Structure 1
Amino acid sequence: MSRDGYLRRNLHFIVLWSLFALLLTLLLWGVMFSKLESDKKQLEENALKKSASISKAYAQYLTRTVEQLDILAKQIKFGWEKSNGSLSFEKMSMEGVLNIPRFASAAIYDENGMPVTATLPLGNKFNVLDREYFQFHKANRSTALRIGTPTTGRLSGKKIIQVTLRIEKDGGNFGGVLVLGITPEFFTLFSDDQVLGERGILAFIGEDGIERMSKVGNEQRDTSPLSAKKIDTELASRATHLFPDGRMRFISTHKLIGYPFFALVGLDQQDVLQPYERNLLMYRKIGIAGTIIFFLFSFIAMWMSIRLAWRNHQAKTIRETYRLATEGGNEGFYILLSEQDNNGFITDFTVVDCNEKGASFFGLPKEKFLGAKVSDYYSGDYFDRVMNAYRLGMENGFYEDDYCIPEGSPIKAEWVKRKFVRADKGLAITLRDISESKRHEREMSRLATEDALTTLPNRHWLMHYLPAALDTAQTNKTMLAVLFVDLDDFKNVNDTLGHSAGDQLLCAVAARLKSVVRSTDKVIRLGGDEFTVVLEAIHNEEEVARIAFSINQVLHKPFELTRDTTTKKNKVGGSIGIALFPRDGHDVETLLKNADIAMYAAKVSRKGHFRFYDRMLYENIKLRLDTEQDLTQAIREDQFELYFQPRVATRTGVLTGMEALIRWRHPTRGLIPATEFIDLAEGSGMINAIGEIVIDKVCAHLAAWLAQGIPAVPVSVNVSAHQFNDGKVKNLIAACLARHNVPARLLEIELTESAMMRNSGDIFDEISAINKMGITMYVDDFGSGYSSLSLLQRLDMDVLKVHQAFTAQLGLGKDGEIFFTAIVSMAKALDMRVVAEGVETQAQLKILQTLACDEIQGLYIVEPLAATDVPSLIAKHYLFP
């Protein structure tokens, strides 16, 4: 290939290096502009903070200044009015009543606007009847100090700000005006151009939106730099403002305390951003220089890469041409000539020809390897094994195998593929290094039989290992145990801490399992959170039980799991099922199945323990699975009936309501109470469908009774926490009430306190929504678990149903009455009615009547009734026996 053709073929070097330079350039400019924008934002934020700080300080300064002027004006007013208008400023100064500062002048004008006395020569007579301040004070009785806008004083002939105060005669009549002429500079002595910058604004503005004074940099202004009427609506709500002089400024306003004025400070944007402009120019120069450097570097690197690639291409072409001409492949090739003794027995071989590859297997160049004997490189038993293989090749004419090179061999390889072909009195031998492919095979075998996360053997390994282990146990007449370990609450770790924490936990569990078993035992991860332990050479159950107990103990200890740099301790535990060979099965499948059954039984009965397999476990699990299937069909075919247990008033025995109780009419087993299938329904997720059926049936019965003219009483329904978790209870209730046209007051909802404690965050909105529908809410089985009074108050429940365990203690001693009294007192404090469950005797009724319990239900009144018996029950009205 010509150089030009090669360059065309390797054009990608030019493109890649050019793209690399472009990427670096874009990165450089991006970083610089990002830094500039960050600096600009920081300067702007600092300017806003600075303007706010200056405006606050300026407001404090103006407040003190106006206070001084207010005091001075009131001193003059007091002295003047006290003298009935006969006191001159000269006399007032002598009496200590007047102390006019150097920056101010004072004058008093009578009710006709004529000057009476002044600190400046009066000169020509004039009046101030046309002045706005004179007309204001004459028309208004306000004695508050007024500060006007800059004007030319008629006495001083200079630019002043007139501060005026009404003077009154006896009886509060208008007596004239006191005028203080203040030079505008007096209001701006607060700062200089170092504070505001060259173009910063300082302004003194009234609440009327009229500017009294402003200063731009170090220059006093006579004209307003602001649109005054926009002080409240625009300037106070914006960080920056475009002023009439065409400049943008960062502004802040602050109100004077006790006076109707604002201090406004505006820092010029150009002054503020001067450092940014300087940096912008500098960064542009850096960016241009960097761009030139990057592209120059790219050009040099591109040229060097092309030259190096060209040289490598030439060298590679030479090597490939030489290898094709001289070697003809990647196999080592030898011609060995046999040496025989007098009996024709082959005793050695000599290398008469080879290629470079063949010589390299022995770490020698071709020239030095030619003429060598096999005995020069092998000795002892190793020499005998090699010679036997060569003799076999001579005898059969052909021999081939994959050969693992033993330790101490001169051949520089781990595995070689050998091929021998007899050629007259010698052998033609080829060797090919297959070490890499063998290593790959081993790695693939390891991956196929090893769990990637924990490095434990996996299910595939177990299924190949167990049959041989069972054969060994049978031969040695020993037992073998299979322990099926399933972690408890592992899903909670994954859901709350994430899968990374779950992986940490699985690795920690693997390490702990290996730490408590014997060195001959095997720990296998089947998948997920399931592990299997195989114990061989077992002689009795006690030995297995000790190891299973140790596993339980080590899994009960908290695990430290790291998430987001924080370490938390988590408890999981494990349930273990054990199957023994040969007692519980003679094959792998049976043993694993029975160990799984035993584990399931351990988890159902009590998590965190172990259990040996027995036949009854299988029967119980089969019964549970059959019942679950039947329950699915029962939901599909609606095999459920409702029974109703009355609630009556404790004192009168009058029927107040009923509780709906579900029964399952099984086709073969008859009527099944709720206690035998509700737990199964909750565990399998079918409780939601059953709950919908119950609410719908209750509404249907209520509608039927109302249609028959029966005065129906409220019916309460137990709602599972699972239904509240779905967040659809309120919608379900509303739909059923609407479908059957039943008033909401006739349907009541019962929720156990344990369900509320576990799901308070999830059910709060649901309970609030149901309450708003006018439905009464019951706390069922109160006292059976942990209770939170604050939660009861927050959830705004209406009725407290006391668990029958507390009712059963009544009449057996004072303790029972004390506990019940405490519950009733608490309920009354929370404005809740109290219902006693499980009342069975007249003695319990008598005690409950003295304890102010509102309602009771139980077998003492009547057993739960079928829906057909409810109308006659309602007709009785009074239900005490």
Structure 2
Amino acid sequence: MQRDRGGASRLRVLGDLVAVTGCSLVVFALALHFQIPRHLAQQSLGRNGATSDAVVFFLATLAIGLIIFSSRRWRDSVRESEQAAAHRALYDPLSGLPNRIMLHERLTEALANARQQEGRVAVLFVDLDRFKAVNDNFGHAAGDHLLTAVADRLRLAVREEDLLARLGGDEFVVICREITYTGEAETIAERLLLALAHPFFVRSEELAVSASVGIALSDNTAKGRKESAETLLHDADAAMYRAKSQGPGRYTIFDRSMKADRVNRDKVEQRLRDAFDDEEFELHYQPIINVDDERIVGVEALLRWQHPQRGTIPPLDFVPQLEETGLIVPVGEWALEEACRQVTAWDKAFPKVGPLRVSVNVSPRQLVQAHFGDVVTRVLQRTDTRPSQLCLEITEAALMGDVV
């Protein structure tokens, strides 16, 4: 912010100088046009003819000097603007850390040097646990404040020769050069986790923040595979997911089984996306009966996947993957609207039955969405469903904030 204000101040000064220069040139041009120097010379004739010449010479010199000075200031301003643009292209504006572009460049350089010297490079992928809940509960400004504070602590935890970068969101990456053994990378990971152990304060609220760290190391043999920067980052990302699955505040070193897990996870996510786009999800309805008069008073909407080859797939076989990939949010919104539309259609078709109530399960990820209440309101309005007809069922996990 200081840098931005300094640049704006310099531009204002430059603008003032340009304005002064322009005014001086206009005055000088008008003086020449109306032959003011000649009139001054005639008036001063007989007294001191050199005086008018000196005035004209002084004005001309002042104008030329201002032009030269403004030109130099303009070149300086352009150079500073170019430097600021180059800085913005390589550094994250929020934390001041190197961004993804610089990270990729430095990691590529580090890997090339390591291959020449048969050394090793470690990449530590850091992802904050439950950070989304901070944005949803306290707002994005508070989330940005927390990210800045986290970046400051992580800076102090890494070694001087390491590079700490921010990928975006709540993801950070550390490049560790000249790693001689795996334990060095593990020690750095422990230091990163320890740096976040003390609570943070956001809007006078004390927040406990933890992170999951994935570690990937380059191959140190000449015959080994030559990892690219992107490959090593993907490996560290896969290790981070494994660490996150074991609970908050952990680190894990990448192994080959994680690559298979990541490939499978990517395939499952793509298959679920295709299923959603192809409208393979459907709702089954289980009636809710009043035991006193055995009358149907409502239904419970149950999500099913109608697979083209495998037939009906029960929720336990795909809902956890929807949760993990975050697809549960759009699928859950679709299920909510579809259930409301169906119960409204039944009310119109069978008015004597009376208004039915529909129960819809809400996942933890849906619940922590900042605009979840607005989503429910829009669905009720679009489907012409009365609020009293909708029952949202929330799991214990959602109430405990079990969202990573």
Tell me which interval the TM-score lies in, with the shorter structure as reference length: 0.5 to 0.7
1:458 CA displacement: 2.6
Alpha-carbon displacement from aligned partner over 1:800-846 (angstroms, at most 9, x marks no partner) = xxxxxxxxxxxxxxxxxxxxxxxxxxxxxxxxxxxxxxxxxxxxxxx
The answer to whether the aligner puts 1:735 opposite 2:376 as a matched pair is: no
- Listed as ranges, the matches of 1:293-692 within 5 Å are 315-318=58-61, 445-562=86-203, 567-582=204-219, 586-603=227-244, 606-635=247-276, 636-638=278-280, 640=282, 642=284, 661-681=302-322, 683-684=326-327, 685=329, 686-692=331-337
User: CA, structure 1 residues 625+748, in 2 after alignment: closer, same or farther (shift >3 Å)?
Assistant: farther
Asked if structure 2 preserves the Cα contact closer than 8 Å seen for 1:681 and 1:687, the reply is no
User: CA, structure 1 residues 640+589, in 2 after alignment: closer, same or farther (shift >3 Å)?
Assistant: same
Alpha-carbon displacement from aligned partner over 1:344-364 (angstroms, at most 9, x marks no partner) = xxxxxxxxxxxxxxxxxxxxx
Alpha-carbon displacement from aligned partner over 1:541-565 (angstroms, at most 9, x marks no partner) = 2321222122123224322235xxx
1:753 CA displacement: 9.9
Alpha-carbon displacement from aligned partner over 1:562-616 (angstroms, at most 9, x marks no partner) = 5xxxx33333432322221127862212112222333344445534433333333
3-state DSSP of counterpart to 1:538: coil
1:481 CA displacement: 0.7
User: CA, structure 1 residues 541+742, in 2 after alignment: closer, same or farther (shift >3 Å)?
Assistant: farther
1:639 CA displacement: 5.6
Asked if structure 2 preserves the Cα contact closer than 8 Å seen for 1:645 and 1:660, the reply is no
1:643 CA displacement: 7.8
Alpha-carbon displacement from aligned partner over 1:353-381 (angstroms, at most 9, x marks no partner) = xxxxxxxxxxxxxxxxxxxxxxxxxxxxx
Could you tell me how far apart the structure 2 residues matched to 1:461 and 1:678 are?
Answer: 38
1:740 CA displacement: 4.2
User: CA, structure 1 residues 8+478, in 2 after alignment: closer, same or farther (shift >3 Å)?
Assistant: same
User: CA, structure 1 residues 541+669, in 2 after alignment: closer, same or farther (shift >3 Å)?
Assistant: farther
3-state DSSP of counterpart to 1:537: coil
1:5 to 14, 20, 30: 30
User: Which amino acid is 1:689 matched to?
Assistant: W
User: CA, structure 1 residues 585+742, in 2 after alignment: closer, same or farther (shift >3 Å)?
Assistant: farther
Asked if structure 2 preserves the Cα contact closer than 8 Å seen for 1:483 and 1:534, the reply is yes
Could you tell me how far apart the structure 1 residues matched to 2:165 and 2:397 are?
Answer: 42
Alpha-carbon displacement from aligned partner over 1:716-769 (angstroms, at most 9, x marks no partner) = xxxxxxxxxxxxx4xx3553324543655584434669979989x959998xx8
Unaligned stretches of 5+ residues in structure 1: 10-310, 331-433, 696-728, 788-881
Could you tell me how far apart the structure 2 residues matched to 1:671 and 1:464 are?
Answer: 48
3-state DSSP of counterpart to 2:309: coil
1:485 CA displacement: 1.9
Could you tell me how far apart the structure 1 residues matched to 2:167 and 2:247 are?
Answer: 23
Could you tell me how far apart the structure 2 residues matched to 1:312 and 1:593 are?
Answer: 73
Could you tell me how far apart the structure 1 residues matched to 2:319 and 2:238 are?
Answer: 22
3-state DSSP of counterpart to 1:504: helix
User: CA, structure 1 residues 464+637, in 2 after alignment: closer, same or farther (shift >3 Å)?
Assistant: closer
1:462 CA displacement: 2.3
1:519 CA displacement: 1.8
User: Which amino acid is 2:215 matched to?
Assistant: I
Asked if structure 1 preserves the Cα contact closer than 8 Å seen for 2:282 and 2:306, the reply is yes
- Decide which moves more: 621-630 or 314-323: 314-323
User: CA, structure 1 residues 593+632, in 2 after alignment: closer, same or farther (shift >3 Å)?
Assistant: closer
1:453 CA displacement: 3.3
Asked if structure 2 preserves the Cα contact closer than 8 Å seen for 1:737 and 1:744, the reply is no
Task: Report the identity percentage.
Answer: 31
Could you tell me how far apart the structure 1 residues matched to 2:367 and 2:93 are?
Answer: 40
Could you tell me how far apart the structure 2 residues matched to 1:500 and 1:641 are?
Answer: 39
Could you tell me how far apart the structure 1 residues matched to 2:332 and 2:207 are?
Answer: 30
Could you tell me how far apart the structure 2 residues matched to 1:458 and 1:639 are?
Answer: 39
Asked if structure 1 preserves the Cα contact closer than 8 Å seen for 2:283 and 2:335, the reply is no
Could you tell me how far apart the structure 2 residues matched to 1:591 and 1:574 are?
Answer: 20
Asked if structure 1 preserves the Cα contact closer than 8 Å seen for 2:362 and 2:392, the reply is no
Could you tell me how far apart the structure 2 residues matched to 1:543 and 1:488 are?
Answer: 24
Higher helix share: 2
3-state DSSP of counterpart to 1:453: coil
1:469 CA displacement: 1.3
Could you tell me how far apart the structure 2 residues matched to 1:786 and 1:442 are?
Answer: 50
- Decide which moves more: 483-492 or 658-667: 658-667
Asked if structure 2 preserves the Cα contact closer than 8 Å seen for 1:737 and 1:743, the reply is no
Could you tell me how far apart the structure 2 residues matched to 1:526 and 1:637 are?
Answer: 34
Could you tell me how far apart the structure 2 residues matched to 1:680 and 1:742 are?
Answer: 39
3-state DSSP of counterpart to 2:234: helix
3-state DSSP of counterpart to 1:611: strand
Could you tell me how far apart the structure 1 residues matched to 2:218 and 2:367 are?
Answer: 46
3-state DSSP of counterpart to 1:519: coil
User: Which amino acid is 1:589 matched to?
Assistant: E
Could you tell me how far apart the structure 2 residues matched to 1:522 and 1:3 are?
Answer: 57
3-state DSSP of counterpart to 1:479: coil
Larger radius of gyration: 1
Asked if structure 1 preserves the Cα contact closer than 8 Å seen for 2:336 and 2:360, the reply is no
Asked if structure 1 preserves the Cα contact closer than 8 Å seen for 2:215 and 2:252, the reply is yes
User: CA, structure 1 residues 609+668, in 2 after alignment: closer, same or farther (shift >3 Å)?
Assistant: farther
Supply the RMSD in Å over aligned alpha carbons. 4.9
Asked if structure 2 preserves the Cα contact closer than 8 Å seen for 1:649 and 1:656, the reply is no
User: Which amino acid is 1:509 matched to?
Assistant: V
State the TM-score, normalizing by the size of structure 1.
0.31
User: CA, structure 1 residues 615+648, in 2 after alignment: closer, same or farther (shift >3 Å)?
Assistant: farther
1:618 CA displacement: 3.6
Asked if structure 2 preserves the Cα contact closer than 8 Å seen for 1:556 and 1:574, the reply is no
User: CA, structure 1 residues 312+474, in 2 after alignment: closer, same or farther (shift >3 Å)?
Assistant: farther
Asked if structure 1 preserves the Cα contact closer than 8 Å seen for 2:367 and 2:398, the reply is no
Aligned length: 330
